[in-house]
Amino acid sequence: MKFFIETFGCQMNDRDSLIMTQILEQAGYSCGTSIMEADIIVINTCSIRGKAEQKAYSLIGSLRKHKLANPNIIIIVTGCVAQQEGRAMVSRMQHVDMVLGPQSIYGLIDHIEKVKETGESLILTDQSKRFEIPPFLPDLHHSTPHKRFVTIMQGCNNYCTYCIVPFTRGREVSRKPADIIAEVKHLIDLGVKEVTLLGQNVNSYGLDQPDESRTSFPELLREVSKVAGLIRLRFTTSNPKDLSNDLMSCFAELDNLCLHFHLPMQSGSDIVLERMNRKYTVADYLLLVKGLRAVAPDISITTDIIVGFPNETDADFMGTMALMEEVRYDSAFSFIYSNRPPALSCDFADEVSKEEKSRRLALFQKRQKEITVEQHQRFVGREFDLMIEGESKMGNGQWSGRSTHNIIVNFYSETVYQPGDMVRVRVTEGLMNSLRAELV
């Protein structure tokens, strides 16, 4: 029996797909190479913006004929669209056998048996019960051999008004520090060199635990950092409202903590930030950036921004442009606002036209590209330790590695490297998506 998992969305979904892969393999299923030859098809969906949801629905819809011709295959929808839609998914897509929310994937084999037995569709999206993230020790042969994501918490309590995540991933649940450390040690034993701690807002790690047994995120970071053999440590993502001085000082303190901070600003207008329920102001944000650069002058700061939030004025947007100029991000993910019911902002009045929103996005992206190149050029002449990713996509004897700032660096070498090897290079050129360098 073969299975195939198609994954959309963020690292949370990548992680859940890895867990499901392992559960299915342990039950004797093997991973197929195409969706059409699989007996068990899992579509792990994302619903962060309307387009992501459409992509999921169009793939699920395209399987209708396949299911009619092969009634024994089992089609399972997981991830954020599954959680959000629940039974409505099966009413719209009758060929779907199972709809599992993110908290229900762990019993996958039992659920499959049940569907086989009863022939009826199964919908499991209840997130009202107390939930603990089960321990997980990953196999090596899936995903990259040298770097891995380790979930430290699931869910989000912040309810930014535009965002679907609190509705799809439920309330914040922190994993036990001992489980996290055990997983990191296990990964190091398998040869992994770099770990990224993962959560929707890692800064609130532990806040769901009672005071007396609570470990804060900086405390956890220090513990993980000490695991012998861990060469690089990263984390993502942080809501600026909870970024503490204690976390900032970790960058000066922990040698293996990489010099990169992803700090989503979303907007450079206080009025919009308030309507987004972000709970910080532009001034607060700039203080954080200043603080980070004071402890780690070389730190790379990246961000997410949303343009065209309901009734964003031209002045609000110019605030975003000004903040970008002031911070000088190494790179930024930028998106046009998308209505995500039941997120609160869907009810906000919006007079801004689609064309105007696209114009603003293009303006932001054009300027950010220029800044990215300028920022990359600041590294020319400098020496870095790179962690090898593999042969460069450009081929011709070039290798690719990542700097501590998480920037791709390409260089020529006749040596054959393994992913995770460390080399020292001198930067010769700063480009849009990468740096060029020579071996030292």
Binding site for ligand SAH (CB under 6 A): 48-49, 162-163, 200-201, 237, 239, 264, 266, 304, 306, 335, 337-338, 340
User: Which residues, at least 6 apart from 168, have a Cβ–Cβ distance to it below 8 Å?
Assistant: 47, 79, 80, 81, 83, 84, 101, 102
Q: What is the rounded CA–CA span in Å between residue 246 and residue 211?
A: 18
200 near 163, Cβ under 8 Å? no
Q: How far apart are CA 321 and CA 405, in angstroms?
A: 23
Nearest distance in Å: CB 175, ligand F3S = 16
Under the rule (CB under 6 A), what is the footprint of ligand F3S? 9-10, 12-13, 46-48, 79-80, 164-165, 168-169
Q: Is 131:173 a contact under the CB 8 Å cutoff?
A: yes
Binding part of the chain for ligand SF4, among 73-81, 156-164, 357-365, 414-422 by CB under 6 A, reads 156-164
* 237: preceding bond cis by omega (within 30 degrees): yes
> Of 46 and 273, which CB lies nearer to ligand F3S in the complex structure?
46
Closest distance to ligand SAH from the beta carbon of 343 (Å) = 6
Which of 5, 77, 123, 160: binder of ligand SF4 (CB under 6 A)?
160
# binding residues, ligand SF4 (CB under 6 A): 10
| 308 or 420: CB nearest ligand SAH | 308
159 binds, among ligand SAH, ligand SF4, ligand F3S, none (CB under 5 to 8 A by kind): ligand SF4
Residue 73 beta carbon to ligand F3S: minimum distance, rounded to whole angstroms: 24
Indicate the pairing of strand 383-391 with strand 422-430: antiparallel
Q: Which does 166 bind (CB under 5 to 8 A by kind): ligand SF4, ligand SAH, ligand F3S, none?
A: ligand SF4
Of 166, 348, 363, 385, the one binding ligand SF4 by CB under 6 A:
166
Q: From ligand F3S, ligand SAH, ligand SF4, none, which one binds at residue 304 (CB under 5 to 8 Å depending on kind)?
A: ligand SAH
If one asks whether residue 269 binds ligand SF4 (CB under 6 A), the answer comes out as no
- Shortest distance in whole angstroms from residue 84 CB to ligand F3S: 8
Whether the Cβ atoms of residue 295 and residue 251 lie closer than 8 Å to each other: yes
Residue 238 C-beta: closest distance to ligand SF4, Å: 9
Q: What is the DSSP string of 292-353?
A: HHHH-TT-EEEEEEEE--TT--HHHHHHHHHHHHHH--SEEEEEE----TTSGGGGS-----
Which of ligand F3S, ligand SAH, ligand SF4, none is residue 112 near (CB under 5 to 8 Å by kind)? Answer: none
Nearest distance in Å: CB 353, ligand SAH:
17
Position 201 contacts ligand SF4 (CB under 6 A): yes
Query: Minimal distance in Å, beta carbon 117 to ligand SF4?
Result: 37
In whole angstroms, give the CA distance from residue 253 to residue 122. 50
Question: Within 10 A of 416 (CB to CB), how many other CB atoms are there?
Answer: 8
Minimum distance between the CB of residue 157 and ligand SF4, rounded to whole angstroms?
Answer: 8
With respect to ligand SAH, which residue has the nearer C-beta, 35 or 306? Answer: 306
List, as one string, the DSSP characters of 91-141: HH-TT--EEE-GGGGGGHHHHHHHHHHH-S-EEE----S---PPP----SS
Measured distance CA(35)–CA(152) in Å, rounded: 31
Binding mask 222-241 for ligand SF4 (x = CB under 6 A): -----------------x--
Give the interface segment with ligand SF4, choosing from 10-18, 94-102, 159-167, 175-183 (CB under 6 A): 159-167
Which tokens is 229 given?
A: 């053999």
Name residue 139's amino acid.
Answer: D
Residues 6+ apart with CB under 8 A from 214: 206, 207
**Rounded Cα gap, residues 4 and 31, in angstroms:** 6
Q: How many CB atoms lie within 10 A of CB 78?
A: 26
Give residues in contact with ligand SF4 (CB under 6 A): 156, 158-160, 163, 165-166, 200-201, 239
